[in-house]
Amino acid sequence: MSKISFNDYQLSTNIVKALSGLGYMQPTKVQEEVIPTALEKKDMVVKSATGSGKTAAFGIPLCELVVWEENKPQVLVLTPTRELAAQVKEDITNIGRFKRIKATAIYGKQPFARQKVELNQKNHVVVGTPGRVLDHIEKGTLFIDQLKYLVIDEADEMLNMGFIDQVESIINTLPKNRMTMLFSATLPEDVEVLCHKYMRNPIHIEVTSVNSTKENIEHFFIETSDEEKFSLLKTVTIVENPDSCIIFCRTQEQVERVFDKLDRLNYNCDKIHGGMVQEDRFAVMNDFKRGEFRYLVATDVAARGIDIDSVSLVINYDIPLEKEKYVHRTGRTGRAGKTGRAITFITSYEQNRLIEIEEYIGFSLKKMEAPSKELVSNCQKAFEEKSNTRPTTKKDKSANLNKDIMKLYFNGGKKKKIRPVDFVGTIAKIPGVTADDIGIITIQDSASYVDILNGKGPIVLSAMKSTTIKGKVLKVHKAIK
Ligand code: AMP
């Protein structure tokens, strides 16, 4: 973290207020580099490690630059996974909370029609995975004529997942007069080519330090065999006794197998992989983030890019097939200034993979011996004690930001010809309430939702029970969702 504060940039007070609500006191290294350049609307290619605060690095300046009055999307963020899309949307909503920035996420395996309705509303920012975004553009359900800012997040992963052609097709449909920002942990040739082709003299920013693979994480490997892997996992978890741990496997089947075995041993665990339905994937990630369980067994796809604080241990049950994945997986620990440990299991025929990873990251993993029987028995008691206690649940970092916000539900919307301005006009006239106390407004066909800020929710709720909007009294209550 630097000595610079967010007040040193040309940011509106409502953005700075949200940042302080989120507990962001100072910009991280990548934010320090990116924010001023982005505010000048320059194209940029940013190479930065996972967990460096890169979402806010583009989220803060873009929330600042967006013109609130415009109804059509001005920002498009492309992400490789649905989880990341949902998370970026969440982060941007939090940063733009007091500017009333409306962000929406669109991704595959979710009803197209529902997304169409969402996209028809006022949206400043659209975050999505390439396939679904392209689909919406081609069908004319995502309006792109007002698009001024494009973010390509985790570009290297887009490439790995075979999305790069779709990304190109999307870029080709967008207005030329725009700013483009590309973020990537690594810059493979195809990504470089994309930058040259579609960006105007991009500024190159590279941020290593603080959250780099090396500094915050201790890296180890243990030699084993396929037959011994699971018993090694048991002993390693006993000795390490982590508060929070991700166990990475190569395939969905392997995740299922390891999870079943751990579950039978009463480990406080859950699993996530690409074969599960999206709702379950979100639910598991949210529970893990909140610290509801201790061990998450995962494939790469599901855990990619996801921001989980305080994972203290990453175990590569299967060594990753691609060297870049090693960085991404281990980047789940040692985030936001914390320290972590990463332990990789290696079978005799995987030595070459280890060498490849070491060459890639530029340092060697420390060799660790499999825990001895004596060590395991010494650690057993502490392990059992921890197993018998519930993990400490973590507070969502937006909880503080959102504590003074009440979402109100009204039983009328588009069908009653109600528009956001009707809510603003009516609510701002309530004694003690001003337009600044009104947050995001979402108008659906037969219902509307209005965020009331600054702790004024109860006043508005009570006043609106007897106040008309466009001559109609609407039913109002605190929204459940
Ligand atoms: P990211 O690299 O976007 O996944 O962010 C990593 C973590 O850092 C997330 O938990 C962010 O909420 C957090 N973060 C981002 N910016 C800041 C900041 N300026 N101060 C403290 N935490 C931050």
User: Does some domain include residue 232?
Assistant: yes
| Separation CA 97–CA 226 (nearest Å) | 50
Per-residue pLDDT reduced to its tens digit, 76-118? 999 998 888 998 999 999 999 999 999 999 998 788 888 998 8
The CA 469 to ligand 1 mean position distance, Å, reads: 40
User: Does some domain include residue 21?
Assistant: yes
| Separation CA 241–CA 382 (nearest Å) | 8
Mutate to test the pocket of ligand 1, among 22, 91, 211 (most ligand atoms within 8 A of CB): 22
Work out the pLDDT band at 460, boundaries 50, 70, 90. Answer: very high
Indicate which residue's Cα is closest to atom 15 of ligand 1: 53
Beta strand pairing call for 149-152 and 75-78: parallel
User: Does some domain include residue 1?
Assistant: no
Mutate to test the pocket of ligand 1, among 28, 88, 184 (most ligand atoms within 8 A of CB): 28
In the chain, the number of structural domains is: 3
Indicate which residue's Cα is closest to atom 5 of ligand 1: 53
382 plus 268 within the same structural domain: yes
The pLDDT assigned to 285 comes to 86
140 plus 196 within the same structural domain: yes
The CA 336 to ligand 1 mean position distance, Å, reads: 6
55 plus 143 within the same structural domain: yes
| Separation CA 113–CA 141 (nearest Å) | 10
The CATH number linked to 431 is 3.30.70.330
On whether the CB atoms of residues 110 and 86 are closer than 8 A, the answer is no
Give the phi and the psi of residue 404 in degrees, each rounded to 5: -95, 15
SS3 sequence of 97-145: CCCCCCEEEECCCCCHHHHHHHHHCCCCEEEECHHHHHHHHHCCCCCCC
User: Does some domain include residue 188?
Assistant: yes
The pLDDT assigned to 278 comes to 79
DSSP lists the bridge partners of residue 346 as 223
User: Does some domain include residue 186?
Assistant: yes
SS3 sequence of the chain: CCCCCHHHCCCCHHHHHHHHHCCCCCCCHHHHHHHHHHHCCCCEEEEECCCCCHHHHHHHHHHHHCCCCCCCCCEEEECCCHHHHHHHHHHHHHHCCCCCCCEEEECCCCCHHHHHHHHHCCCCEEEECHHHHHHHHHCCCCCCCCCCEEEECCHHHHHHCCCHHHHHHHHHHCCCCCEEEEEECCCCHHHHHHHHHHCCCCEEEEECHHHCCCCCEEEEEEEECCCCHHHHHHHHHHHHCCCCEEEECCCHHHHHHHHHHHHHCCCCEEEECCCCCHHHHHHHHHHHHHCCCCEEEECHHHHCCCCCCCECEEEECCCCCCHHHHHHHHCCECCCCCCEEEEEEEEHHHHHHHHHHHHHHCCCCEECCCCCHHHHHHHHHHHHHHHCCCCCCCCCCHHHHHCCCEEEEECCCHHHCCCHHHHHHHHCCCCCCCHHHEEEEEECCCCEEEEECCCCHHHHHHHHCCCEECCEECCEEECCC
Per-residue pLDDT reduced to its tens digit, 36-82? 999 999 999 999 876 778 999 999 999 999 999 999 999 999 999 88
Q: Which domain holds residue 366?
A: 214-387
| Separation CA 170–CA 184 (nearest Å) | 18
| Separation CA 267–CA 262 (nearest Å) | 5
The pLDDT assigned to 42 comes to 96
Residue where a domain stops, chosen among 174, 208, 242: 208
Counting atoms of ligand 1 from 1, which one is nearest the CA of 51? 2
The pLDDT assigned to 211 comes to 41
User: Which pair of tokens denotes residue 290?
Assistant: 């909140």
335 plus 446 within the same structural domain: no
Tokens 């195809």, located at residue: 190
Indicate which residue's Cα is closest to atom 22 of ligand 1: 24
The pLDDT assigned to 209 comes to 47
Work out the pLDDT band at 360, boundaries 50, 70, 90. Answer: confident
The CA 371 to ligand 1 mean position distance, Å, reads: 35
Indicate which residue's Cα is closest to atom 11 of ligand 1: 53
The CATH number linked to 36 is 3.40.50.300
**CA dist list (Å): 84 to 88, 107, 250, 398:** 6, 10, 20, 17
| Separation CA 103–CA 89 (nearest Å) | 6
336 plus 195 within the same structural domain: no
User: Which pair of tokens denotes residue 419?
Assistant: 């528009």
The pLDDT assigned to 305 comes to 55
The CA 414 to ligand 1 mean position distance, Å, reads: 37
**CA dist list (Å): 224 to 126, 321, 339, 369:** 46, 17, 26, 10
What count of residues does the chain have? 481
Report the phi/psi class of residue 273: left, alpha or beta, with left for phi > 0 and alpha for psi in -120 to 50. beta
163 plus 294 within the same structural domain: no
User: Does some domain include residue 440?
Assistant: yes
The CA 56 to ligand 1 mean position distance, Å, reads: 7
265 plus 127 within the same structural domain: no
DSSP lists the bridge partners of residue 44 as 181, 203
275 plus 306 within the same structural domain: yes
202 plus 224 within the same structural domain: no
On whether the CB atoms of residues 427 and 100 are closer than 8 A, the answer is no
Per-residue pLDDT reduced to its tens digit, 254-307? 999 999 999 999 999 999 998 888 788 888 988 888 888 999 999 987 656 566
Residue where a domain stops, chosen among 186, 208, 230: 208
Indicate which residue's Cα is closest to atom 21 of ligand 1: 24
User: Does some domain include residue 399?
Assistant: no
225 plus 350 within the same structural domain: yes
Indicate which residue's Cα is closest to atom 12 of ligand 1: 53
The CA 22 to ligand 1 mean position distance, Å, reads: 9
Pocket residues for ligand 1 (CB within 6 Å)? 24, 26-28, 31, 51-56, 307, 309, 335-336, 397
The CA 73 to ligand 1 mean position distance, Å, reads: 25
The pLDDT assigned to 435 comes to 87
Residue where a domain stops, chosen among 141, 173, 208: 208
199 plus 237 within the same structural domain: no
CA neighbor of 182 nearest in space, from 214, 209, 159: 159
368 plus 424 within the same structural domain: no
User: Does some domain include residue 397?
Assistant: no
Give the phi and the psi of residue 162 in degrees, each rounded to 5: 75, 25
The CA 289 to ligand 1 mean position distance, Å, reads: 14
| Separation CA 120–CA 444 (nearest Å) | 10
Per-residue pLDDT reduced to its tens digit, 426-456? 999 999 998 888 988 888 888 999 999 888 9
Per-residue pLDDT reduced to its tens digit, 168-185? 999 999 999 999 999 998
Rg of the chain over all Cα atoms, to the nearest angstrom:
24
